[in-house]
């Protein structure tokens, strides 16, 4: 039989260029994305007693601790918002960013056995993580909405939602994009510098305190406020709170800065990820 007449259904060819990313191929593997999403959701609380209830328990306990320590003991103001709503809102949107970042940062290390056996576009793994984290966010966000509606129907004078609430999808996209870009960048770097794995949790804690989660931006002095606004998460968290409560720092200028920062980090992170995945198995 003449080999020249053979036809292949799929031919895997090595791509060497930095910008050789086959987005069409990622779309063709979309079913695999949803399989990974299901795997992540099932594996997270498998063999636990409370199961998915942990999605609610974690933000409730964290909010309670923040109210007791930062609100009642430290007497940190909440910018006019009810304490529970202030802390729960910050925790809800911050947890989404944090989970996206932490879990995508483990892409290569956590899936090295799978990557060594089966071919599929490697970007599928972090994309599926962002989607599974989004589903968890929506569950926790429902808890925030229930709390927000309670204060709203009680006609609490400190609550004044406004039309910017329509920008909620924008806030979610920005947070997921930032967590995704930081995560795959760290994942790429940890293939060479394993020490980064040990500083991620510490770095995230520092970043959280550099973000107005347990305090409003307005209590920061004008002299140092610009430093907090350099953090792209700051304007998103403040805008999120402003949309639902009417309290917070909402600025189209700051949100535009965050969006440009995220787009730039996404661009470079995907390029670095694309380059590292070609030699990943040789370095592990």
Average pLDDT over residues 40-66: 77
Average pLDDT over residues 247-275: 91
Tokens of 137: 């966010």
DSSP string, the chain: --GGG---S-------STT---HHHHHHTHHHHHHHHHHHHHHHTTT-SSGGGHHHHHHHHHHHHHIIIIIIIS----TTS-HHHHHHHHHHHHHHHHHHHHHHTTHHHHTHHHHTT----TTHHHHHHHHHHHHHHHHHHHHHHHHHHHHHHTT-TT----GGGGGHHHHHHHHHHHHHHHHHHHHHHHTT-TTHHHHHHHHHHHHHHTTTTSS-GGGS-HHHHHHHHHSHHHHHHHHHHHHHHS-S---HHHHHHHHHHHHHHHHHHHHHHHHHHHHHHHH-
Q: Is the pLDDT of residue 3 over 80?
A: no
Of the pLDDT bands very low, low, confident and very high (cuts 50, 70, 90), residue 145 is very high
Give the model's pLDDT for residue 98.
Answer: 92
* pTM exceeds 0.95, yes or no: no
Q: Where is average pLDDT lowest: 1-10, 127-136, 179-188?
A: 1-10
Give the model's pLDDT for residue 161.
Answer: 84
Of the pLDDT bands very low, low, confident and very high (cuts 50, 70, 90), residue 69 is very high
Of the pLDDT bands very low, low, confident and very high (cuts 50, 70, 90), residue 154 is confident
Q: Where is pLDDT greater, at 199 or 168? A: 168
Q: Is the pLDDT of residue 139 over 70?
A: yes
Q: Is the pLDDT of residue 194 over 80?
A: no
Of the pLDDT bands very low, low, confident and very high (cuts 50, 70, 90), residue 49 is low
Of the pLDDT bands very low, low, confident and very high (cuts 50, 70, 90), residue 19 is low
Give the model's pLDDT for residue 44.
Answer: 67
Q: Where is average pLDDT lowest: 20-29, 126-135, 256-265?
A: 20-29
Give the model's pLDDT for residue 261.
Answer: 96
Q: Where is pLDDT greater, at 242 or 158? A: 242
How far, in Å, CA of 212 to CA of 234, rounded? Answer: 6
Of the pLDDT bands very low, low, confident and very high (cuts 50, 70, 90), residue 13 is low
List, in order, residues 6 or more apart from 91 with CB less than 8 Å away: 59, 62, 63, 66, 213
Q: Where is pLDDT greater, at 80 or 237? A: 237
Q: Is the pLDDT of residue 9 over 80?
A: no
């Amino acid at each position: 039989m003449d080999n020249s007449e053979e036809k292949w259904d799929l031919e895997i060819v090595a791509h060497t260029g930095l910008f050789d990313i086959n987005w069409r191929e990622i779309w063709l593997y979309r079913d695999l994305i949803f399989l990974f999403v299901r795997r992540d959701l099932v594996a997270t609380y498998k063999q636990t007693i409370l199961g998915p209830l942990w999605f609610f328990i974690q933000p409730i306990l964290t909010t309670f601790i923040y109210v007791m320590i930062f609100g009642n003991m430290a007497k940190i103001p909440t910018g006019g918002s009810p304490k529970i709503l202030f802390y729960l809102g910050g925790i809800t949107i911050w947890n989404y960013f944090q989970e996206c970042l932490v879990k995508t940062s483990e892409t290569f290390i956590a899936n090295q056995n799978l990557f060594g056996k089966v071919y599929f576009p490697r970007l599928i793994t972090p994309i599926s993580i962002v989607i599974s984290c989004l589903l968890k966010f929506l569950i926790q966000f429902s808890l925030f909405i229930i709390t927000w509606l309670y204060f709203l129907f009680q006609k609490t004078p400190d609550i004044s939602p406004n039309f910017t609430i329509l920008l909620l999808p924008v806030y979610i996209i920005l947070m997921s994009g930032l967590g995704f870009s930081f995560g795959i960048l760290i994942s790429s770097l940890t293939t060479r510098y394993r020490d980064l794995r040990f500083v991620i949790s510490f770095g995230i804690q520092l970043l959280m305190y550099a973000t107005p989660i347990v305090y409003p931006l307005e209590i920061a002095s004008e002299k140092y406020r610009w430093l907090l606004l350099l953090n792209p998460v700051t304007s998103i968290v403040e805008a999120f709170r402003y949309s639902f409560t009417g309290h917070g720092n909402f600025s189209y200028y700051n949100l535009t800065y965050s969006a440009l920062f995220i787009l730039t980090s996404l661009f470079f992170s995907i390029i670095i990820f694309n380059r590292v995945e070609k030699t990943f198995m040789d370095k592990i």
